[in-house]
Amino acid sequence: MVDRSKVRVVIAKPGLDGHDRGAKVVARALKEAGYEVIYTGIRQTPEQIVETVIQEDAAVLGISILSGAHMVLIPKILKLLEEKGLKLGEDVAVFAGGIIPPDDAEELKKMGVFEVFGPGTPLKTVIEAVDGAVKNLKGFRA
Amino acid sequence: MSDEVKGLIDVALKGDKKAIARLITLVENDEETAREVVRRIYPLTGKAYVVGITGPPGSGKSTLLDKLVKLAREEGHKVGVIAVDPTSPFTGGALLGDRLRMQRHSTDPGVFIRSMATRGSLGGLAKATNDAIKVLDASGYDLIFVETVGVGQIEVDIVKTADTVVFVTVPGLGDEVQAIKAGLMEVADIFAINKADREGVEMVYLELKMTLEFERDKWKELGWEPPIVETIAFTLRGVRPLWEAIKRHREHMESSGRLRERRAFRAREEVKTIIASSIARKVEERLASGEAGELIDEVVEGRLDPYSASQIVMEKLKEDLWR
Ligand code: B12
Ligand SMILES: Nc1nc2c(ncn2[C@@H]2O[C@H](COP(=O)(O)OP(=O)(O)OP(=O)(O)O)[C@@H](O)[C@H]2O)c(=O)[nH]1
Ligand SMILES: [Mg+2]
């Protein structure tokens, strides 16, 4: 199994959305599971988030968004990541969570988001999904 | 060294942030690679000035740092930040929260911020902090801030790392000053009393002042009396005087020859640490061998005393060390 303490995870909150409970809960859960987690805080621009992923050399980016602006902000982040030469699912695994309707979730997954989680998702499910994504990344494949 | 690492170094030295970040990960994760990387970049290091920020948890180190980075940028420095937070001893995980106070600098091309977990180190920094500094130094960051984990007392590791050490305290901690008295002069070059918007600033100020008085002879001899600066990190109040104090201390260190002294001390400590950890590793390897297992059995059964057993192992270690 992957040594979680060598996997760096950025949890980010893009846009003007101030709902930060979910992001903090997920960040803490991943820490408790043994990951190294960097939390960006709220009100982040896509540029700030992508720069954070780069400077922190994160393998996982988790985006938490409850404001409804996910179809604008998430694609923008994905595009910036690729522009910076970070391949989705190869160099970095992207997750999203919050209030995201199923149709949008499907669309986002098609764009390269690994998994989308809504309210009430057990934290165990989140951790397992991150484990699953990490072991297929370039730097962590057996 | 693998071609991949070589290539990475070349790109990092040109200032590519992705490559710099990757190199820091490598020196953090793998001792062998760290050795190779440092060997290669070392000639390019030594140009950066390193400022350490330490102090109790929540005293405002990161918030102050955010402001200091701003002032340093205005004066044209290329700024690196390494912010250390603790690794949980139970899970091995870490929640690195310093960065969130400095996020506005994330997109500034002249700033590189890296969060780092202690991963079992106890002195307030991570084992790889010094190597990460070297990577930033070689990549052209000429001013590097290092934030230690929040510590109740001054941790000595920061002196082995920083050219100037700022200790951030706050009013209302009660016996805080008492706790930092030991080794006060050795470690802190500047004191910041942050959250000066709160009650009790004069108390902390007077206590610090009195504590410093005890060491009067020492600071006279050194030619530097640690200034005490009151700050409100929120509002920038006092932050400019703090920045000026840092610059004055740097001048003092450079003109008095103390910078050279401190760096010599640091180099010695670094060499010592590397030797100690390689020996510790060899010892572990030796003790894991079947031969050592038999010796240990003899100790358990009372046929051999531990001193004689270690003597025998140490004889063998000689070979390991020179191999
Ligand atoms: C609490 C709450 C607030 C609190 C927020 C406190 C805080 N600091 O977070 C307050 C009262 C401040 C608030 C304000 C507002 N809110 Co509000 N709020 C909620 C509420 C009731 C619960 C959110 C919550 O904290 N859940 C608990 C956490 C733990 O769950 P979670 O965030 O969903 O996270 C879980 C999963 O989604 C997932 N997850 C989340 N993020 C991530 C990230 C990753 C990487 C992963 C893997 C998983 C993951 O895992 C978590 C664990 O299961 C929701 C309704 C709801 N049931 O969701 C509305 C809701 C989100 N709010 C809403 C609105 C409209 C607002 C306001 C605009 C105005 C208003 N009408 O109240 C303001 C805006 C505030 C702002 N600045 O953005 C709407 C949003 C509508 C939309 N998106 O279309 C909701 C859905 C209510 C509704 N039905 O209308 N709100
Ligand atoms: N009242 C007041 N609060 C402040 C001041 N400076 C910082 N804070 C607040 O103090 C809290 C801790 O600030 P940080 O900058 O995270 O402190 P820190 O020393 O880096 O914390 P750790 O890294 O966790 O040890 C935050 O909520 C800040 O907003 C100040 O001058 N006055
Ligand atoms: Mg901090």
Give distance in angstroms: CA of B107 to centre of ligand 1.
28
- For residues B206 and B317, state if they share a domain: no
- For residues B307 and B232, state if they share a domain: no
Element (H, E) at A93: strand A93-98
Residue B169 lies in a domain: yes
Instruction: Give all domains of chain A, ordered by start, each with its CATH number.
Output: 4-137 (3.40.50.280)
Nearest to B127 by CA among B209, B31, B218: B31
Residue B75 lies in a domain: yes
Do the chains contact at B18 and A84, CB–CB below 8 Å?
A: yes
Instruction: Judge contact between B45 and B110, C-beta under 8 A.
Output: no
- For residues B221 and B110, state if they share a domain: yes
Parent domain of B30? 1-43
| Cβ(B197) – ligand 2 distance below 6 Å | yes
Q: What CATH number does the domain containing B120 carry? A: 3.40.50.300
d(CA B272, CA A114): 46
Chain B residue with minimal CA distance to A49?
A: B106
Tens digit of each residue's pLDDT (9 = 90 or more) over B157-175: 888 899 999 999 999 876 6
Q: How far is CA B50 from the centre of its chain?
A: 9
- pLDDT tens over chain A, length 142 residues: 789 999 999 999 999 999 999 999 999 999 999 999 999 999 999 999 999 999 999 999 999 999 999 999 999 999 999 999 999 999 999 999 999 999 999 999 999 999 999 999 999 999 999 999 999 999 898 7
Tokens representing residue B293 in the block: 């297992």
- For residues B306 and B215, state if they share a domain: no
Instruction: Judge contact between B137 and B42, C-beta under 8 A.
Output: no
- For residues B160 and B303, state if they share a domain: no
Residue B202 lies in a domain: yes
Ligand 1 residue neighbourhood (C-beta within 6 Å): A 11, 17-23, 25-26, 62-64, 66-68, 95, 97-99, 117-121, 126
- For residues B61 and B184, state if they share a domain: yes
Please report where in the chains the tokens 């003597």 appear, as a residue: B311
The interface predicted TM-score of the complex, written ipTM, equals 0.96
- The domain total for chain B is 3
Residue B10 lies in a domain: yes
Tens digit of each residue's pLDDT (9 = 90 or more) over B111-138: 999 999 999 888 889 989 999 999 999 9
Neighbours of B251 (CB within 10 A): 11
pTM higher than 0.90: yes
Residue B264 lies in a domain: no
d(CA B123, CA B120): 9
Tens digit of each residue's pLDDT (9 = 90 or more) over B46-92: 999 999 999 889 999 999 999 999 999 999 999 999 999 999 999 99
Atom of ligand 1 nearest to the CA of A20: 9
Do the chains contact at B93 and A32, CB–CB below 8 Å?
A: yes
